[in-house]
Amino acid sequence: MQQYTMLLMAPTLVTMLTGIGGRICPMFNITISNVRGPDKPLYFMGAELLATYPASIVTHGQAINITCHSYAGTMNFGFTACHSSLPSMQKIAVYSEDALQELEKALGVKASKGANTVKSQATASKTSAPSRAKSPRKAKPA
């Protein structure tokens, strides 16, 4: 899997390393990735880690980076975007939450208790908008 990823990312890495990234169009303008986290809750000096929200970067020519991170039975999303390419990035986070709720309803899964807090988290920042959706099953890597 790592070799396949490196093969796909080689053109992007070459443009970044050589400095020609701003002179040619990128092969894609969206990156979506999944980072598997621990299945069990973590603690530091007795305090439980409640959630982790991924943060990433967008390179020249990219519009948005969506990173998913699983943690203790939850799936958390981090949205990072170029403001000039995507000025209303918060809408994507809100629409993603709406789509997850529709999916839960279609599958007959009871909506998670954390789902109501997502919209306030999604509009909290102009550069990244985390959202959190509780999954009834353990998250699996993509």
Answer whether residue 3 is part of any domain: no
Residue 23 falls inside a structural domain: no
Q: Poorest-confidence range of 27-31, 90-94, 104-108?
A: 27-31
Domains of the chain: total: 1
Indicate whether 1 belongs to any domain. Answer: no
Mean pLDDT of 50-61: 86
* pLDDT tier, 25 (very low <50, low <70, confident <90, very high otherwise): confident
The token pair that represents 135 in the structure block: 């999954």
Is residue 18 domain-resident?
no
Assigned domain for 103 exists: yes
- Burial of 60 (C-beta count, 10 Å sphere; 0-12/13-18/19+): middle
Using a cut of 0.85, tell me whether the model's pTM lies above it: no
CA within 13 Å, CB half, 118 = 28
- Which residue segment(s) compose the domain that 97 sits in? 28-134
How many residues are present in the chain?
142
